[in-house]
Amino acid sequence: MECTPSGRRSSLACVVAVMIALASSSGSAAEPPQHPQAGTIAGHPALARCPRHTTTAHGRQGDAVNIAFIGSEQELHRTLAAAGWYAADPITLRTSVRIAADVVLRKPYAHAPVSDLYLWDRKQDAAFEQPVGDSPKQRHHVRFWRAEAVDAAGKPLWLGAATYDERVEISRTTGGVTHKISPDIDRERNKLVSDMIRAGMLDGYYWVDAFHRQAEGRNGGGDPYFTDKRLAVGVIAPRR
């Protein structure tokens, strides 16, 4: 979950770190969503051999994969937008300064950037978030990676890692600016599925049981998490 700029921006990172460290404080957790009901849709071929965790730029285990959607890239963006989620801005000098300033000034930033995590040796193909309150230090967010395999209808699988950012702090493992995640990653997974259902954007969804071997772990920033070990897979409703 690191947000540290690299290279020529290292001096700016120090300023950003100080600004955010002074402004950060723990926030209240989101209201628990209603637990989704299981669906009855056939599996996607890309699920046969897919990674269970993301990795950081330094090769450490990152956030756990806990959600997936089946549909085209256009359908994925349309669905998230309809469910009230915003596409994240890329990390640039301008967006790095803005997120730091908005945390300090308690100004909303619905498209705040997220740091890069990796699956299949590449960074996320898309990232979305849903702001909480009046500061980007707290937010719901998810990253997605497109799998190469497609199903019988030619639709790809988008593997995702959904977490809730509780606050910003200095990473215990890297020393960089980072968001600290809530340990209950299932709650965030369930919230995203519930948002999609309320927006009427899913044809259905199902669970992959025992997707994870371990019920507990830590992400790349050292934050602990726990899970029921299941992956939620939603099928995006085609445009009607």
pLDDT of 191 reads: 96
The whole-model pTM stands at 0.74
pLDDT (tens digit per residue) in 142-161 = 999 999 999 999 999 999 99
Determine the length of the chain: 240
> Above 50 in pLDDT, residue 186?
yes
Q: Which residues contact 169 (CB under 8 A, 6 or more apart)?
A: 20, 21, 24, 178, 180
Domain assignments of the chain as residue spans, ordered by start: 7-26+35-236
Q: Where are the alpha helices (DSSP H) in 83-218?
A: 93-105, 185-198
Who has greater pLDDT, 96 or 234?
Answer: 234
> Above 80 in pLDDT, residue 29?
no
Strands of the sheet containing 53-55, edge to edge, are 61-64, 53-55, 118-119, 122-123
Q: Which residues contact 40 (CB under 8 A, 6 or more apart)?
A: 204, 206
> Above 70 in pLDDT, residue 63?
yes
Over range 93-98, report the average pLDDT: 58
Question: Which range (57-61, 82-86, 108-112, 148-152) has the least confidence?
Answer: 108-112
